Structure 1
Amino acid sequence: MNKRPKTSSGERVHLSSSMDMSSASQLEQSKPLMEADVQFDSWAEKAMRNFIFEVGLGPRFVYLTSFKEMLQTVHNRDVEIPTYESMLREELKETQHRAMQLKQEWKKSGCSIIMDSWKSRCGTKSFISVLVHCSKGMYFLRSIDVSGILEDMDELASVFSRVVDDVGACNIVQVIRNDASPHMRMAWHYVQKEHDHSFFVPPCADFCINLLLEKIAAFDHVSEVLRKAKEITRFIYGNVLAYELVGRYIDDGEILSNSCLKSVAEFITLDRLVSVKENLVEMFSSPEWVSSDRSTRMFNPLDWISSGFSTTTSLFRHICGIVKTDGAFWCAAADVLKITKPFIDVLLKLESEDCPMGILYDTMASAKDIMHNLGDKYGDILHWVDEIWYGYLHSPLHAAGHMLNPRVFYKDPSCDDPELSGRIEACTTAIAKGHYDPGRLKAQIEVYKGRSGSFGSDSAIQQIVETPQVTVVWWSAHGTDTPELQSFATRVLRQTCFGAKRYNISRQVLEEAHETRGADLEELYRGLEYAHHNRRFASAAPLIGGLSGDQCGKPGRKLGSDWFLYPRHRQHIVIGSSNT
């Protein structure tokens, strides 16, 4: 594969530019759409700019009459709104300042490219969002329309090669993907060969565990449990009084998960449902419920008819029967959770750690051991556990993170078994290329394994025992006698295991950037895409709920209508009142 990246906008692949300084300069020279006779105070303009680019609003929004009237009301005087171009120009300046800081960190400690593959809302187009993660944060590079080239290995590799050129091959430790297709992996193999540089291309942990849970959900006995759980939640979220009473009888008033991963959200919701079973029994037995005619009032009569029930009363009796007397369902649900909860706990554990790369291998191995201890009756599910483990997460990079975490390595002698040592050696060989002397690095690893020198000092051991988060900080304090290994450990442990979904990316903004428009508007929407996502990433934390910073979202957004039914018009109900 000898092709070089194609960068012309006339090629089959449409690349949205990461708005570099030259793009910002072009905007600087563009003619404003309207002049401001009376300018905002600088703080007011900045506040408006922050709002526009955090939400991801396009240029048309600024020129709405209603928006201008709102600002005039607030200021109690006529104001001229700054042009969208001028606000975008200032936003790009701030974004570029942060980008320069991040790029310095890429050179110092390495980085991870995150390839987020997804389809448009209509399902006819395929896109990839390219993100770059380092210890100082996430950076949005660009999005790519790959609708016409997914099966064209040369074209796909050319697109990826441009990404590597932009980030710098020597800075890349891994390329995380949420697409397990062979052609995607093969394209990256071609890119590595072309650049004569080695980096790892693992799927993200979120994708792997969500895929595993999806496979588990497909088993007949599990799908039957989920079917009944869906009936309960659909009834509660579709019945006005039940929804009101949930707030009284359940502590946080919520059952549905807002996880950004669909299968993870399903099993978290099942877990919450099982945990509040007694609360639901109490709720459905309460005087407020039994005495109210609203207990049978649903906002969508087609819902119970399509479910095979002639009236809401018959549907209520069915749901009440599951909640109060269907012991087989609750036992089966608890049994399913024994299988799924250990893997969901892996995702939550990764989120709570300052260095997820240092614990992924260990936490997945522990979850796998729990599954094996449950017995032979889960043999079919164990097959999928092993498939995900050995096929995706059993990589040299994760093994190295495991070994370089002193909290794990100095407690677990199995860390030094021959099979694991072989994977660690593969990782050191790949990452050392162009950065470290392999011989010196190998010798220093032996010093670490033997707890020699500063690794065996009282302060090193004490910090492991007493400080929960010790990984990178520990290496900074105690790895000074082995500088190559210290740098290598930092390079590995500062990488992420997460994909893009934890950051709650707005795909609507991404799609708008790829719509066909005139050149001027196209440049504005590319700038919006770049500024919006980098503003979000500047304050984002990767959360399994997909809600980072002060972003908001309603529970159930990934679950779908088979789990909940929000009535179109929810009236306020006074508990105990007989008024309609």
Structure 2
Amino acid sequence: MSKSKREADITWNYCDNVPPNRLQVKCKFCSHTCWGGIARMKQHLAGTKKDVIPCCSVPDDVKDIFVKMLKGKEKKTEDGSFDCGGDLSREVTKGKNDLQQMTINATYKNREDVIREICSCIYGNALPFNLVRSPLFIQMLKAVGEYGKGLKPPSYHEVRVSYLKKAVDNVKQGLEKYKTDWEKWGCTLMCDGWTDGKGRSLTNFLVNSPSGTVFLKSIDTSDVIKDGKKMFELLDSMVEEIGEDHVVQVVTDGASNLVAAGRMLMEKRTKLFWSPCAAHCLDLVLEDIGELPVFYNTISNAKKITTYIYRHTWVLNLYRSYSNGRELARPAVTRFATSFLTLNCIKQQKNALRSMFASEEWATSPHANKSEGKQVMNLVLSDGRFWRSITYCLKCVIPLVKVLRLVDGDAKPAMPYIYEAMDRAKEQIAENFQKIETRYKKVWKIIDTRWNLQLHRPLHAAAYYLNPR
């Protein structure tokens, strides 16, 4: 393009060439680059979505210029002139000086003011920063921007009543497509209990099918959670609501009241199966193993170490200087698994702990002369009995924790794979002790009692999905 033609086209006020490619241009507002020269850049600035993505930062007055320009091209007259409309003609005759008033700096300043207000709202209401990554947040801002000036904010009543009811109705409408799959493939009713900040026992009911998992409802079960018969009646009513012919199995945790409720449910609804949650069963396995004397004593001693270190700031800082910032406490998928993972952390930091308690800094500190400090130091610097017990415990439970991560992770494997994983875990425990049965016999017995007896039926229900109606 000649220099004179380039200067005559106002598009060049809002884009630049990308050397050395003459046909590649870059938008000054959003820095988007595209091929095809300014012809495609005009589509980009006008937001037509024709062969190029629209600009997300172009000012409205600039966008209007290019929208009118493109419409004018569509109305091109036979003599080659353009019917761009009076508004566009006036804009062009103003010359570059007027068009360049909307500079990049001014555009950035306007955006900065808006972003500052958005951030003030987030900071002032202690909202999580991840909110800005939410598609709903982005969609909201786009809707506000497209509305333009004069938008009246929603009232408290609209947020709390009017539009909340509309949102609930929309969710119910979206649920209909899932109900169709329930009728076709069958589904699983899942029951999950939890306690809120007010101490209420709430139970969530969810429905799983090949099309996905949906939340059905949440009920305050504070008055009935301990009563097996009442929980049976609640589960039975949920099955009735979904449709008995559509429910393949009902999954709850393995608490005694829900075990009783599940058995009563199977007696009444002979076409479905009840099964406890695999993750909860594994949690109970770990709980029972933790009650064995060697496990109980080892975990108690480990807690003494972590509690003492984290309760005293000076000791904690000293430990961190020897561990290079590595912590002892570790989060886990369940509360009983946490104890065993803490044992693993203590084992990994054995050298750091022993070096700390053998250091001159510790020996000359006031903590070294106190009974609690001496007790913890003796545990860490013992002749090896404490450390041998940790190794023994981990050989027994780490294979089980791996299965727990499998069943409690985001990827939900089918029950037959979980059974296989549990069998492999048992074999791994045996191999960890060179298959000397006396060393792992009690652990195997607990696994068989909790796992095999409670989770025997789901194989039939899982197979149901392989042969849908």
The TM-score, its normalising length taken from structure 2, stands at: 0.58
Alignment size in residue pairs: 324
Q: Is the 8 A contact 2:278 2:407 kept in 1?
A: no
1:265 and 2:338 aligned: yes
Paired position in structure 2 for 1:380: 442
Aligned counterparts of 1:265 and 1:149: Cα–Cα separation in 2 = 26
Letter in 2 for 1:254: E
Paired position in structure 2 for 1:128: 203
The alignment-based identity, stated in percent, is 23
Structure 1: any 5+ residue segments left out of the alignment?
1-39, 56-78, 297-310, 402-426, 437-580
Aligned counterparts of 2:322 and 2:186: Cα–Cα separation in 1 = 50
Paired position in structure 2 for 1:362: 420
Letter in 1 for 2:223: S
Aligned counterpart for 1:174 among listed residues 246, 249, 253: 249
Structure 1 residue 333, shift from structure 2 partner: 0.8
Aligned counterpart for 2:285 among listed residues 180, 199, 212: 212
Paired position in structure 2 for 1:144: 220
Aligned counterpart for 1:334 among listed residues 372, 376, 391: 391
1:324 and 2:356 aligned: no
Structure 2: any 5+ residue segments left out of the alignment?
1-113, 130-151
* Two-structure CA RMSD over aligned residues (Å): 4.1
Superposition map of 1:166-565 within 5 A: 166-181=241-256, 184-191=258-265, 198-250=271-323, 253-259=326-332, 261-286=334-359, 289-290=362-363, 293=365, 296=367, 313-351=370-408, 354-357=411-414, 359-373=417-431, 374=433, 375-397=437-459, 427-428=463-464, 432=467, 435-436=468-469
Q: Is the 8 A contact 1:106 1:171 kept in 2?
A: no
Q: Is the 8 A contact 2:228 2:261 kept in 1?
A: no
**Structure with the largest fraction of strand:** 2
Aligned counterparts of 2:317 and 2:444: Cα–Cα separation in 1 = 41
Structure 2 CA distance for partners of 1:121 and 1:95, relative to 1, 3 Å? closer
Structure 1 residue 348, shift from structure 2 partner: 1.8
Deviations 1:256-277 (A, max 9, x none): 2333522111111111111111
Structure 2 CA distance for partners of 1:273 and 1:96, relative to 1, 3 Å? farther
Paired position in structure 2 for 1:474: none
Aligned counterparts of 2:128 and 2:276: Cα–Cα separation in 1 = 29
SS of match in other structure, 1:129: strand
Structure 1 residue 392, shift from structure 2 partner: 1.7
The TM-score, its normalising length taken from structure 1, stands at: 0.48
> Which structure has the higher relative contact order (CA within 8 Å, separation 6+)?
1
SS of match in other structure, 1:184: helix
SS of match in other structure, 1:213: helix
Q: Is the 8 A contact 1:198 1:431 kept in 2?
A: no
Structure 2 CA distance for partners of 1:128 and 1:386, relative to 1, 3 Å? same
Paired position in structure 2 for 1:489: none
Deviations 1:426-468 (A, max 9, x none): x44x985xx42xxxxxxxxxxxxxxxxxxxxxxxxxxxxxxxx
SS of match in other structure, 2:271: coil
SS of match in other structure, 2:276: coil
Deviations 1:512-548 (A, max 9, x none): xxxxxxxxxxxxxxxxxxxxxxxxxxxxxxxxxxxxx
Paired position in structure 2 for 1:114: 190
Deviations 1:84-131 (A, max 9, x none): 6624654564465455445523542544322224568898x7553323
Q: Is the 8 A contact 2:265 2:274 kept in 1?
A: no
Aligned counterparts of 2:179 and 2:319: Cα–Cα separation in 1 = 48
Deviations 1:245-266 (A, max 9, x none): 4444435632223335221111
1:164 and 2:235 aligned: no
Structure 1 residue 215, shift from structure 2 partner: 0.9
